[in-house]
Amino acid sequence: MARKYFGTDGIRGKVGEGMMTADKVLKLGWAVGKVLAGRDENGNGRLVVIGKDTRISGYMFESALEAGLSAAGVDVRLLGPMPTPGIAYLTRTLRASAGIVISASHNPFYDNGLKFFSAQGAKLGDDLENRIEAMFEAPMETVDSSELGKAERVTDAHGRYIEACKASIAMGIRFNGMRIILDCANGATYHIAPSVFTELGASVTVIGAEPDGLNINANCGSTHPERLSQAVLTQGADLGIAFDGDGDRVMMVDEKGEIVDGDELLYIIACGRQHDKQPVNGVVGTLMTNLGMELAIKEMGLEFTRTNVGDRYVLEAMQQNNWLLGGESSGHIICLDRTTTGDGIVSALQVLAYLSQSGKSLHEAKSGMQKMPQHMINVPLNGNGDPMQSPEVQSAVADAEQTLNGHGRVLLRPSGTEPLIRVMVEGDDLELVHKLSQQIAETVQNAA
């Protein structure tokens, strides 16, 4: 059944529009309470935890969710500003029936959204999302006053998650002498990440850690690592770490100021697992994963597979193959031997642990993987047809693949959020990659 409200990662939109209004979020909280929580066989109430990033609208939606869940007879624990993976962790450790994250991830402050975790700290499957949507469209009925849910703030949530992050690497590892710059994107990691890396011995400088409700992701964080790159060079740091607004993604900057993306970080983590003789049977990437990473992973003697873009698809493939590592170029990395979902802080710690044990710099560690030139063009769709089915487009793709002659690949895919076709060409010749991508994009444009 097609989902009406849920996208690839929960519900997201501009504040005050669509599903992101106070009244709809209140009813959504009620629907979630009815589907995911409810009461057990003894009549005891269940528990839902709520956390958020630093957007100003988080206050409004936190209150709305609290009211809706209470109306469904569900108790609530409020975590306050907390990285998305921290909310997943606390959902499990507090034995909650569900966790709700109020965040629009890397989007600007005027957007917001809701992500949901099961009792196991995993993203919800399609079946549960469909049940929530069906309940949302049913008439809302408030339980008897004697059965209303209660709300309580968890005062030690930050400390619990900080310790969990530190426990994701071996006890004896320290980052003494390592000079790090953290960019917290004025988001949910601003009061967590500095403590984690400082307590592990690193010398830490922090930027992007002054949230005011409006500056989350604004020219900072993992979507804008240029500022961090300049800071690393100016201050002579060993490396920089940039998170996104809700802390489930990470990008890094090496000592030369070069940006290290999710593909390279996932490769380094795989190297770290092999270095420690930990099991790594294979790695999951997406259709957008750089071909250079696939080749490097296979050279390590590991299997590699691709999924559609989206962390839920990466996780599904990891579980199907019983593999522990997977991720996206955007920096959303999942280490299933450490967490249940993408975690920017934990992923960064895995990289730093390998650097500490191997004695390599970040630049040296990434050098084992040679990224192939990749060029992508977004082609707007003007009509209702599907240009990807056009014989002219298919012929252009076939011609490009023949020209690449096994030394690259061509990918056309529709955007999941905009009326666009994304045309991507990858190969070992930058000039040829640009030429072929432009030729295919023009053909797609003529067929659109």
Q: So which residues are the catalytic ones?
A: 105
Q: Residue 64: phi, psi to the nearest 5?
A: -65, -45
Residue 354 DSSP SS3: helix
Residue 270 DSSP SS3: helix
DSSP-derived secondary structure letter, 372: P
**Under 8 Å between Cβ of 18 and 72:** no
**Under 8 Å between Cβ of 75 and 148:** no
What are the beta bridge partners of residue 326? 284, 334
**Under 8 Å between Cβ of 253 and 259:** yes
Residue 112 DSSP SS3: strand
Question: Which positions ≥6 away from 346 have C-beta within 8 Å?
Answer: 85, 165, 168, 335, 338, 339
Paired tokens of 230: 């300049």
Interatomic CA distance for residues 236 and 231, integer angstroms: 8
Cβ-based neighbour number of residue 145 at 10 Å: 6
Q: Which residue has the tokens 């979630």?
A: 32
> Where does 228-288 show beta strands of DSSP type E?
239-243, 250-253, 259-260, 282-286
